[in-house]
C-alpha cells in the first residue's frame, strides 16, 4: 500500500445528490492533490493544497468543492454533477509541492446517473 | 502549458522480450520526468524517475533515457514478466511548479 487511502472506493450518485470523497495520507506529507482520470485522457490535475492552503485550482467547475482541514486529510465535496463527471478520482500526496514523487491512493470510481 | 505525448497506446510482448514506451514533451523548461505504473484497481505508483541533469537511469529491469535536445524520454523494460502487465504513464514537470503533466498511458500486456 502507498500510505494514501480513499473512501468510498465506488460511488453512484444522481445529478441532484450531494456527496463527499475522502482522502487520508499517513506519510507525514505536506502537499495533497486531487486528480480526475477519464478513459483515454491524461490525468487531469484539479486541486493542489500545500500546508493546508490551496495553491492550484485548475479551472475546475464550482460543483467540485475541495476542503483540506489539515495536512493529512483532503475532501472533495460534490453537488449537482453531470454524467460527464463520471471518472476515477485520485488523491495523491507528496512531501511538498514540486519536484517530489507523488504517492497516489487507489481512487474513487464515481458514476453520475 | 506543457504537452506530453505518449506512444504506443497499447503494447503486447512475449514474456522475456523487451518493451519500450516513448514520450515527448513540449516545454524545454521541464526537468523532472517520472514514470508511473497503474495496475487494475489501484492508483498510479512511481517506478522510476529521471532529472534533466542525467541522460539515463537504471533500476534492475527498468531503465529510462532522456534526450533533452529532442525533448523525448523513453521507458525500457527488459526480460518482461506477466506481472509487468499494467498501464504505464509518463509525466513531465518544471521545477517549482505544482503540476505533473501526464501522457495518455500505454497498456502493456505480457503474454506468457
Nearest neighbour of A45 by CB, restricted to B9, B42, B99: B99
* Closest to A23 in 3D by CA, of A87, A101, A93, A75: A75
Q: What whole-number distance in Å separates Cα of residue B48 and Cα of residue B35?
A: 6
Q: What whole-number distance in Å separates Cα of residue B1 and Cα of residue A28?
A: 30
* Closest to A22 in 3D by CA, of A107, A84, A94, A113: A107
Report yes or no: A97 at the B interface, CB cutoff 8 Å.
yes
Do you find a cis peptide bond into A8, omega within 30 degrees of 0? yes
Parallel, antiparallel or unpaired: strands B106-111 and B86-92: antiparallel
Q: How far B97 CA lies from chain A's nearest CA (Å)?
A: 5
Mark yes or no for CB contact A43/B102 under 8 Å.
yes
The predicted-structure confidence for A76-99, as pLDDT tens digits, reads as follows 999 999 999 999 999 999 987 765
The predicted-structure confidence for B61-84, as pLDDT tens digits, reads as follows 999 999 999 999 999 999 999 999
* A55 chain-B contacts, CB cut-off 8 A: 98
The predicted-structure confidence for A24-60, as pLDDT tens digits, reads as follows 999 999 999 999 999 888 899 999 998 888 887 778 9
Contact (Cβ atoms closer than 8 angstroms) between residue B112 and residue B16: no
Q: What whole-number distance in Å separates Cα of residue A24 and Cα of residue B57?
A: 32
Q: What whole-number distance in Å separates Cα of residue A58 and Cα of residue B5?
A: 20
Residues of chain B with pLDDT under 50: none
Amino acid at each position: 500500500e502507498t500510505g494514501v487511502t480513499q473512501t468510498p472506493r465506488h460511488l453512484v450518485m444522481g445529478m441532484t445528490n450531494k456527496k463527499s470523497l475522502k482522502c487520508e495520507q499517513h506519510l507525514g506529507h505536506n502537499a495533497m492533490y486531487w486528480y480526475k482520470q477519464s478513459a483515454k485522457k491524461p490525468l487531469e490535475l484539479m486541486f493542489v493544497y500545500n500546508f493546508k492552503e490551496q495553491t492550484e485550482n485548475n479551472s475546475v467547475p464550482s460543483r467540485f468543492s475541495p476542503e483540506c482541514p489539515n495536512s493529512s486529510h483532503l475532501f472533495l465535496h460534490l453537488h449537482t454533477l453531470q454524467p460527464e463527471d463520471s471518472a476515477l478520482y485520485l488523491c495523491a500526496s507528496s512531501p511538498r509541492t514540486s519536484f517530489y514523487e507523488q504517492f497516489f491512493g487507489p481512487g474513487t470510481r464515481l458514476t453520475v446517473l | 502549458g506543457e504537452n506530453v505525448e505518449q506512444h504506443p497506446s497499447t503494447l503486447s510482448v512475449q514474456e522475456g522480450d523487451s518493451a519500450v514506451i516513448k514520450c515527448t514533451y513540449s516545454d524545454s523548461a521541464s526537468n523532472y520526468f517520472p514514470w508511473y505504473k497503474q495496475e487494475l484497481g489501484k492508483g498510479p505508483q512511481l517506478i522510476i524517475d529521471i532529472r534533466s541533469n542525467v541522460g539515463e537511469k537504471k533500476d534492475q529491469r527498468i531503465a529510462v533515457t532522456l534526450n533533452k535536445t529532442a525533448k523525448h524520454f523513453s521507458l525500457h523494460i527488459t526480460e518482461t514478466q506477466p506481472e509487468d502487465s499494467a498501464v504505464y504513464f509518463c509525466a513531465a514537470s518544471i521545477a517549482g511548479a505544482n503540476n505533473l503533466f501526464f501522457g495518455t498511458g500505454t497498456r502493456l500486456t505480457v503474454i506468457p
